[in-house]
Structure 1
């Protein structure tokens, strides 16, 4: 965040002309603790978030396992796709042979994810598994190419790899790019004596990945997540946990072990929306559960994996009695065992079955998993809506009984379905209390009016029931405004004052979705957008970051005329909350003005006396529909400054005119 010179925020003219709103902050009364998990991130492989996004692999269909084996590839000369390769769960490979003439080439060319993009002077690690099945030696020329060049040579960087012997071996080479190219390709020629050569698991990564890992993450995108300071990390979804059928659900056991032997999974998002259709969108599982846990460790986040409860997507499969669509209640044993094995993978000793797998992957120490989500957006049915009864909760109980019997310290997270209110929500919420889950997961993608009118959502929640995880939420603008723009992000900031004020009942909150490729999105708005070379953070990202970095440790009471500041009648579109941070000794006040007029404020800091300087952070912009872009990534960003806190008669006094449609944070040392 950028700083500018100290400014005075007191504007007498406005204060005289408009009613001054008095905000009372009781700095002496520490309220509920703000959980370290309060603000986090939710990852789902939608919008090319994993392959083609955070996961830094640059080759599409690297093991030739797509239903069309050469999708993503151009093959030429003498080639054959075969299926008796060295990796049991990825058996396909390509055999390259002599094309019949010395000047005729046999080879492969990969298009990558919307192109193979290279940066000037960056180094890339190429690898493949290969052999000469008939013996002898061969040479593969590996090059970065620009097929649209007007120059003499399409190849702008290349390296030769010598293959030898009948046995499969892994070969690696590094290629340094002399230029930046957004839409290149990766080409492989069989050269030299052109001895028959088999190639499998062809891979390309930047050398400079997050933490320098070979099977690593794209550095700029991972850094953006780290900078959010997430307290919890929910993964791997979302709807991909369910799948459109049981076969396409996310199966965590397929996502661990050597990457060469992790089987391909169909990504349900490639065909969900006809208007944004991507038939080449699959999951390589290269970003698997080990890598997710590793990222949680990197970020200092609690891991929150979510597993299938045996129900495929109920939106697409509404009849729970249809054979083969959902797992029968008496056939859940293998699904429950998957849950138990996952906990062992994360926490078990190195001599346990799944703890050994973790250790062999390079992490003998346990990941210290504390939370587990069962099911995504499942629901039960009442008599008026199918009459099928406790379809989800009956399954959840079986999971709960088994997990609590073996791992009583694991906190279980249920769900109240896909809606923030309505018959299904009303049916599930009390059942979460009956089942004694530790938290339940609420989802709401709602329009501007909903966010403006639900500032008191959590104030009336049952304090004796499970705690709340706002697991997916975002303001989706009405009237074709369902995309990232400033005003909806501002309303998310307003809503989060209610989350913060109710930290005794809300223990986690994660905006969704997290990532989107500008050429491959299916859903918006999203927090972080990117192409193959660049990225930008949306205003919603900055809202989430500002809350996470300034979450404090305890809620402080903040009222206006004795009422919560939640956009209520007479509050002129103001929303506010306050916390105290024991580590820094700061009172942190968040105020959101959703109105189209500046609002004079008098913030009474009860329990504080004297003058001092307050730090301020302001997110404001004149243009509701504006957003950040790849070409203008910092069009709307938080700005830092300072203001004077005066000594009032009974308490310190902060006077401000908060501009129209502005989110502002005040930080005052106590």
Structure 2
């Protein structure tokens, strides 16, 4: 039976005794490491039912064979064939060659090579070093599959979660909306095969102890592109996708979509609590559609918290309209985005001090300081940007009663395949590194408290006075006071703190510091040029003297009685 979802395959006809070779070069090459084992698989058949030999070679960029094995293809029916290949060398730009030996007609499809050493050793799983960087952050949630990818250039290329679950070979490939989005870095070979789909995203969130936050299309394509919308009276399929997704995530293994999840290997619920309706949409068209989604979802699943959109900017007419409308609708969580210059982040550290405590919770869903300008390919993940984000985040933490969630974006970028910068984590085919921004995010994430406490200077929050920004929390589990302090000054600053409450007698505070020149960056060659340096500090009584290096970010964990 032919595959109606993915009807295309390669037919190779060999009419002579000369071998014929086809090559899969991967996406910007394949990273192969010496001594590692790689799982090759292919769906194949022989047109006349005979048997034929297929040799599989891992080939270096220079043409050297790093690993090889043979498979016997037999019969007219499609079958999955697999073999493991051990690599005799390392190459960042390797490829896989299929050598068809002898006469005959062979059909092949779903050609795949995966390292066996994946995250949790799952076949066809995620790249271990990239997931480890995420896990080390101890994130509270994972937002997936992204933002604009949900919308699509047009609705025909929107992200449809149902097409990303089930058997890999039944997941329909589509063009990626970033394929030709940016003229300065076109990527005509960029497609979505959905080997990484919603099941894998849920699994990833569970693996690293994070809450899943899926984002769904609300019947609107990207308003910067086609701005295509579904009429309100034709939204039912989109609404059903949302309701079915909740069943897929949380439903019993006997329910229609819970059964799909169970058959994929996860009979237990994924414990979904949050669901995003649209990404970065704006205007009355969005509000009208959000109302319909909210009514339908809350009627059946009142426990699910919905994330709504305040639009693509942090202020202005569109933002104000969305914020006011969503407040009137008593929205659960409103997603605000800001890609701005470092100066904006410094001047907006107090942004949420005056937000209505009775209004919707805020999700700072996408933000990153732009060293040059928004969308500029010249943006860098430099220390000035990271430090300004740290200053801004002290305001997020200080207002944690309003700001419910926050996430830097974008998350990952390939050094050869990026289109947008800055990005939190960079990688090539063999290695990866966290930016200074990554380490700022990590220091906040792994040093969360259980309650906020006031940190005042002259009866005011420390948010830019004398170039200093700060926040404070208490961790009731470890009995520690945790301070985050940013010194944006060009000189070292001495700070004396008086703690209302007793510090542990003869205690040792743990201190992490980051500082560098404003334009300094990390790289593959020097991945920790800017990274936290840990030290200790003796404390006693209720006073604490700190020396804040120039243009620095510090985290201090102080033991309490």
TM-score calculated relative to the size of structure 2:
0.97
Of 151, 160, 183, the residue aligned with 2:93 is: 183
Moved over 3 A (4+): 478-481
For the 8 Å contact 1:96–1:107, the answer to whether it is kept is no
> Which whole-Å deviations, capped at 9, do the CAs of 1:478-514 have from their partners, x for residues lacking one?
3776221111001111100000000100110000000
SS at match of 2:92: strand
Number of the residue aligned with 1:488: 385
By how many angstroms is 1:147 displaced?
5.0
Of 504, 509, 520, the residue aligned with 2:417 is: 520
> Which whole-Å deviations, capped at 9, do the CAs of 1:387-413 have from their partners, x for residues lacking one?
xxx211110000011101111111111
Number of the residue aligned with 2:83: 173
For the 8 Å contact 1:512–1:526, the answer to whether it is kept is yes
Structure 2: how far apart are the matches of 1:166 and 1:613? Answer: 72
Structure 2: how far apart are the matches of 1:282 and 1:147? Answer: 23
Structure 1: how far apart are the matches of 2:559 and 2:450? Answer: 14
Structure 1: how far apart are the matches of 2:107 and 2:379? Answer: 48
Number of the residue aligned with 1:419: 313
By how many angstroms is 1:434 displaced?
1.6
Number of the residue aligned with 1:616: 511
- Residues 155-234 of structure 1 aligned to structure 2 (within 5 Å): 155-191=65-101, 193-234=102-143
For the 8 Å contact 1:472–1:513, the answer to whether it is kept is yes
For the 8 Å contact 1:565–1:574, the answer to whether it is kept is yes
Number of the residue aligned with 1:581: 475
Structure 2: how far apart are the matches of 1:416 and 1:511? Answer: 17
For the 8 Å contact 2:69–2:85, the answer to whether it is kept is yes
By how many angstroms is 1:598 displaced?
1.1
> Which whole-Å deviations, capped at 9, do the CAs of 1:223-280 have from their partners, x for residues lacking one?
1111110101111110011111001110000000101110012211121110011111
What is the alpha-carbon root mean square deviation over aligned residues?
Answer: 1.2
Structure 2: how far apart are the matches of 1:412 and 1:598? Answer: 45
- Does residue 511 (structure 1) correspond to residue 425 (structure 2)? The answer is no
By how many angstroms is 1:667 displaced?
0.6
Aligned length: 556
Number of the residue aligned with 1:46: none
Unpaired segments of 5 or more residues in structure 2? Answer: none
By how many angstroms is 1:117 displaced?
2.0
Of 24, 33, 40, the residue aligned with 1:110 is: 24
- Does residue 657 (structure 1) correspond to residue 554 (structure 2)? The answer is no
Of 270, 274, 282, the residue aligned with 2:191 is: 282
> Which whole-Å deviations, capped at 9, do the CAs of 1:590-625 have from their partners, x for residues lacking one?
10001111111001111115442211011112x211
- Residues 567-606 of structure 1 aligned to structure 2 (within 5 Å): 567=464, 571-606=465-500
Of 216, 230, 243, the residue aligned with 1:340 is: 243
By how many angstroms is 1:148 displaced?
2.4
By how many angstroms is 1:198 displaced?
1.2
Structure 1: how far apart are the matches of 2:329 and 2:233? Answer: 19
SS at match of 1:580: strand
For the 8 Å contact 2:334–2:361, the answer to whether it is kept is yes
Structure 1: how far apart are the matches of 2:206 and 2:2? Answer: 33
Number of the residue aligned with 1:499: 396
Query: Between Structure 1 and Structure 2, whose CA radius of gyration is higher?
Result: 1
- Does residue 562 (structure 1) correspond to residue 451 (structure 2)? The answer is no
- Does residue 317 (structure 1) correspond to residue 226 (structure 2)? The answer is yes
- Does residue 98 (structure 1) correspond to residue 1 (structure 2)? The answer is no
Bigger relative contact order, structure 1 or 2 (CA pairs below 8 A, ≥6 apart): 1
SS at match of 1:362: coil
Number of the residue aligned with 1:625: 519
By how many angstroms is 1:116 displaced?
2.0
The range that moved more, 461-470 or 426-435, is: 426-435
SS at match of 2:461: coil
By how many angstroms is 1:578 displaced?
0.4
By how many angstroms is 1:155 displaced?
2.1
Number of the residue aligned with 1:148: 62
- Residues 333-372 of structure 1 aligned to structure 2 (within 5 Å): 333-372=236-275
Structure 2: how far apart are the matches of 1:600 and 1:155? Answer: 61
SS at match of 2:345: helix
Structure 2: how far apart are the matches of 1:433 and 1:156? Answer: 60
For the 8 Å contact 1:448–1:478, the answer to whether it is kept is no
Structure 2: how far apart are the matches of 1:435 and 1:206? Answer: 49
TM-score calculated relative to the size of structure 1:
0.82
For the 8 Å contact 2:343–2:388, the answer to whether it is kept is no
> Which whole-Å deviations, capped at 9, do the CAs of 1:48-84 have from their partners, x for residues lacking one?
xxxxxxxxxxxxxxxxxxxxxxxxxxxxxxxxxxxxx
> Which whole-Å deviations, capped at 9, do the CAs of 1:635-655 have from their partners, x for residues lacking one?
1110110112243xxxx1111
For the 8 Å contact 1:518–1:531, the answer to whether it is kept is yes
Number of the residue aligned with 1:531: 428
SS at match of 1:221: helix
- Residues 127-146 of structure 1 aligned to structure 2 (within 5 Å): 127-146=41-60
- Does residue 260 (structure 1) correspond to residue 157 (structure 2)? The answer is no
- Does residue 547 (structure 1) correspond to residue 413 (structure 2)? The answer is no
SS at match of 1:668: strand
For the 8 Å contact 1:226–1:299, the answer to whether it is kept is yes
- Does residue 239 (structure 1) correspond to residue 148 (structure 2)? The answer is yes
- Does residue 643 (structure 1) correspond to residue 537 (structure 2)? The answer is yes
Change in Cα spacing, 1:222 to 1:147, as seen in structure 2 (3 Å) is closer
